[in-house]
Amino acid sequence: MTRKPLSLRWLEVFQLISKLGSVQKVSAETGLSISTVSNHLRSLEGALGVELVDHGRRPMGLTPAGTVFARHVYEGMTALKRGEAEIRSGRWQHATDLRLALIDDFDNQIAPEFFSFLSAALPRCNFRHFARPSHEIIEKLQAQKLDAGIATRPAENVEGLMEYPLMRDPFIVILPPDYNGEVKDLISAKHSLPFLRYSRDHTIGKLIEMQLTRSKINLPNKFELECNQSVIGLVADSSGWTITTAASYYRARRYHENTRVLPFPGKSFVRTVSLFTSNVCPIATSQLIHRTMKNLMDLHFVEPMTSRFPWLGSEFRTISDNKGGPH
């Protein structure tokens, strides 16, 4: 018996059903009617001769056969999208569209020079630039609303994305100029100088809290702020002290004369800043972005900070990768 060939539309609908768990949600996502979505699913099941979805469950769950098939559909659709991206862009010089986000750490010092270089290297490319917190960049990449993003690597695993590590950025302690005590006094007792937290909704704040927990340091939660400039500004005003990274501190250069910088006491810890891309972004384009960003980070962040604070040594540096490939 000749089997009916599978429709790409059926596979797209099935992939969305496996992700969203509802015909109604797939209808809203695609603009197709509920009956059309149901017909596509039934046609696919009929062509395969097996039920892929448990139609009696709400939300809809996959059958064992559906779970296996969903994995193969995901791999196949990813390969098709990658092929489409490569065909449309050809060589990286001929890329036509790029949706790229940067965390605000690099939006002022690096972004203008970065996009000036890319516009010359990719003359036919249309750029859409976004400045977002790291966690939002990762979410938008996973939702395929971005092609590439520069973000802090989160503590949890990042599914479905390619990562190109860029910079090793150590955490340091920032103190007001009139505090002459030791850092251990601030973290080992109830001190009158409050700790200024970065928002725990942001990746940098989460990483700091994880290290404090590992170090068994419990600090009162009096201030919690999203804006890096506000945090460093309050330290300069003698309103508290904070833990931040070398790159984040360097951004707040207007406050450098009124702050002191020390290593984090005890076991050091770092954040990794990386280029993340969707798995359909052409590799040559990703490598171009990676090389350019690494050079600019060295020039505008690593070299001036390590020159001023030699004790940072090799702790603060861009990450060498001879092949320029993803990790």
Of 32-36, 41-45, 229-233, highest mean pLDDT: 229-233
133's enclosing H/E stretch is: none
Residue 91 neighbours by CB under 8 Å, 6+ apart: 284
Structure tokens at 276: 């993340």
- pLDDT above 50: residue 322: no
Q: How confident is the model at residue 87 (pLDDT cuts 50, 70, 90)?
A: low
Domain count, the chain: 2
What angle, rounded to 10 degrees, do the helices at 111-121 and 283-297 form?
Answer: 140
Q: Report if pTM > 0.95.
A: no
CA 102 to centroid of chain Cα atoms: 9
Q: Mean pLDDT throughout 175-180?
A: 90
Chosen domain end from 67, 89, 111: 89
Q: How many CB atoms within 10 Å of residue 35?
A: 10
179's enclosing H/E stretch is: none
- Residue 1 belongs to a domain: no
Same domain, 238 and 326: yes
How many whole angstroms separate alpha carbon 109 and alpha carbon 253? 11
Peptide bond into 176 cis (omega under 30): no
Q: How confident is the model at residue 82 (pLDDT cuts 50, 70, 90)?
A: low
Q: Which domain holds residue 314?
A: 95-327
Same domain, 143 and 12: no
Q: How confident is the model at residue 150 (pLDDT cuts 50, 70, 90)?
A: very high
- Residue 115 belongs to a domain: yes
